Structure 1
Amino acid sequence: MAPWHCGIDDCGTETDAVEELIHHQTTEHAKHECQVCGTIVPDGYFAIRHAVEEHTRAEYVRAYDADSEAVRRREELKEKIEAEADLESVVADLDAVN
């Protein structure tokens, strides 16, 4: 399986398991403030999930000065992660850390 790459800033971290990447993004990077509603969420996957599930495409485009391609990339990445990740184990692992 191809490695997963952290896309936050110029981090460069790679992991073999998507669960490890989500853990890395949640624990090693600053939280993200949603530009639509102000909610504070972990950066990376959880920020993408928040934007896709909680806001319309139009809200995202306006708030982030994005285009439709940027929205599609995030929707596709969310789907790819959720198809592969055991999100329950990620949440359990993160709960154990806190």
Structure 2
Amino acid sequence: MAWECGIDGCGAVFDDAESAVVHQATTHQRCECQVCGTIVPDGYLAIRHVFTEHSRAEYVRTYGASSEAVRKREALLEEIDAVVDMQAIATELKR
């Protein structure tokens, strides 16, 4: 399965989820979580941050997200979480 970077129409394609996440974290600008102010890499790691560190209600309230937008991001998290090796990503990002 190919993994495509969905940030700002980037479109870069990778053979594995880990490479796509590392690309997002190292190539694209970081963003500020509007709930808590933490600076996080854009893409998967930003979505993972907001959905693991904050409640769904906080996300909806802060970002004005629709239930469809929430479901889309939750589905994306489930899809990536099912295959991603977070230790491999952490190791790569420490380099």
For Structure 1 versus Structure 2, the TM-score category normalised by the shorter chain is over 0.9
Gap regions ≥5 residues in structure 1 = none
For the residue of structure 1 that corresponds to 2:40, the secondary structure is strand
Provide Cα deviations, 1:16-69, integer angstroms capped at 9, x if missing partner. 111110010000000010111111001111101111011111111121111111
Which residue pairs with 1:27 in the alignment?
A: 26
Q: In 2, distance between residues paired with 1:58 and 1:86? A: 28
Count residues with an aligned counterpart. 95
Q: Which amino acid aligns with 2:16?
A: A
Question: What's the RMSD between the two structures over aligned residues?
Answer: 0.9
Which residue pairs with 2:40 in the alignment?
A: 41
Runs of 4+ residues over 3 Å off in structure 1: none
Deviation at 1:94, TM superposition (A): 0.7
Gap regions ≥5 residues in structure 2 = none
Q: Identity across aligned pairs (percent)?
A: 57
Q: TM-score, normalised by structure 2?
A: 0.94
Q: TM-score, normalised by structure 1?
A: 0.91
